[in-house]
Chains A and B, each alone.
Chain A
Amino acid sequence: MINNDKIKIENVNLYYGEFHALKNINMNVKEKEITAFIGPSGCGKSTLLKSLNRMNDLIEGVKINGKMLLDGIDIYKDMDPTMLRKRVGMVFQKPNPFPMSIYENVAYGPKTHGVKSKSKLDEIVEQSLRSAAMWDEVKDRLKKSALGLSGGQQQRLCIARAFSVNPEVILLDEPTSALDPISTMKIEDLLVDIKKNYTIIIVTHNMQQATRISDKTGFFLHGEVVEFDETEKLFSMPKNKKTEDYITGRFG
């Protein structure tokens, strides 16, 4: 089966003030696949990820040029950022549940987008928590503060929260870097499980993680995409010497 291109990145350059953080990026992300970004610290993975739902807009002095298309539509020219972010959800490196109840955390997104009916909200909350594989864990304490959950549970709650607005793409920035192996495994299983419905892009420092779950992998270095290929190919026979050095651990 050949999937369509969900996201097209064409000649994107990004500057933080004078600093050239992304250099001429070209990349196509296919629908219903998991794409992983790997590369050493500071190479621009998070920057590219954040520019896909325009979270970089919040930072002063960011300049971006080139094109980013979601289903063929230019997200910087022809799309309202709030609509974009509803369609392209994000899970951050550090779990960041709101200081509210578990229920309110998940209901926040739909409420923001105008869902008012209690029964509809209940349904969305249950659905989202089920999709994040944590309904059974929390169904008896929906009214309790989300801050009382463990780190792994908080992160899955954030994933549930991202589901709640029914996005098409989910961006995850090192979602498991603060978690223990079991929580990590749960989230990996979850991602593989949900990719039939979502397009997923994940930044990770963990190369095993990339090989375990991703279909495509992009290797970043100094703001450039050095190599972007099917995960299997990239890890078994990298075309570029730098990629090879990095994945074999001979780098930096």
Chain B
Amino acid sequence: MELVNAEKNLRKRKLISLVLKAGVWLCGIMTVGILIFILLFILLRGVPNINMEFLFGTYNSDTLSAFSSIVTTFEMILISLLVAVPIGVFCAIYLTEYAKRGNKAVKVIRLAVDTLAGIPSIVYGLFGMILFVNILGFRASVLSGICTVSIMILPVIISSSEEAIKSVPDMYREGSLGLGATRLGTVFRIVVPTAMPGILSGVILAIGRIVGETAALIFTSGTNVLESPTLDLFASQRTLAIHMYMLASEGLPHSKDMAFATGAILILVVFLVNLATTKLAGRLGRLGNDK
């Protein structure tokens, strides 16, 4: 009796694990499949429309060139990261390494960070428009956009850096302090390099947000497009995502095609920037990578 039961049980367990395995596979294939479908769809519709004029020409209603938008996109990514990453990482260092446990300020900062992370980007846009565009008088400009976007990506950088720094084992800190290193030296030579991969994944998420941002930027850096690229921070100039949005909603005969072309470029930009970030951080945090 017992034995029969056990055998029945075993068969049941085997069946369950088979079903689960199939489920896992199915989900995996579906995810990858959807991803590939989207990528192919955009690339197939977009890439054939990419030409030199579109990439590097001057903008007019014929070329609909993305050149100035490409340049502004890179400019925005670079400067926003230069502003937000140090602030975010230092904030995370303070929260994890220096603030005393149960500190009131820490609780407030955490609450603020979590709240800020959940706010829709259009709210940032409104805020940026009032503060940077109007009150500070930056007008609708790349600068206003960069300021807004920097604030917007701060929470994701802070929280991912905080997680990464927290997950650095205490025994590394003890080892370093035990050799007579200072607190600060330990943070910058042991803790941050060890946490680099985690900090980096926050940076990559942040890049994704910048590249994909439209709502917050329409209010701050504007939808204007210049004929040729500029690095002037006070110019009003759109990024690629806004370029795509504008093209998609414009009535010109070829603007839909060019919207897809922009999408294809957008994918490429994200890919390139992530690659560069990974490489750079690999060099910065050479620790642990030199197996």
A interface residues (Cβ-Cβ under 8 A, vs B): 53, 55, 58, 60, 82-86, 89-90, 92, 94, 96-101, 104, 108-109, 112-113, 143-145, 147-148, 158, 161-162, 164-165
Contact = CB atoms under 8 A, between A and B. Distances in A.
7 contacts: A53-B178, A82-B182, A98-B190, A99-B287, A109-B181, A148-B291, A161-B175
A119 to B, nearest CB: 21
A109 B189 CA distance: 11
A99 B180 contact: no
**Closest 8 A/B residue pairs (Cβ):** A86-B180, A99-B288, A96-B171, A109-B179, A85-B180, A90-B178, A145-B291, A112-B181
B178 A99 contact: no
A101 B171 CA distance: 17
A143 B290 CA distance: 8
Given A99-B172, A145-B290, A148-B291, A108 B189 contact: yes
Nearest to A84: B180
A34 B260 CA distance: 75
Nearest to B178: A90
Nearest to A104: B287
A58 B177 contact: yes
A92 B178 CA distance: 10
Contacts of B291: 144-145, 147-148
Interface residues of B, number: 23
Interface in B136-189: 169, 171-182, 185, 189
B172 A82 contact: no
Contact of A100 (B101, B178, B181, B290): B290
Given A94-B171, A98-B175, A109-B179, 20 more contacts: A58-B174, A58-B177, A82-B182, A85-B178, A86-B179, A90-B174, A90-B178, A92-B171, A92-B178, A96-B172, A99-B172, A99-B194, A108-B179, A108-B189, A109-B181, A112-B176, A112-B179, A112-B185, A145-B291, A161-B175
B178 A144 contact: no
Contacts of A148: 291
Interface of B: 100-101, 169, 171-182, 185, 189-190, 194, 287-288, 290-291
A100 B287 contact: yes
A130 B203 CA distance: 42
Contacts of A104: 287
B181 to A, nearest CB: 5
A58 B176 CA distance: 13
A85 B179 CA distance: 6
B174 A92 contact: yes
A162 B171 CA distance: 14
Nearest to A90: B178
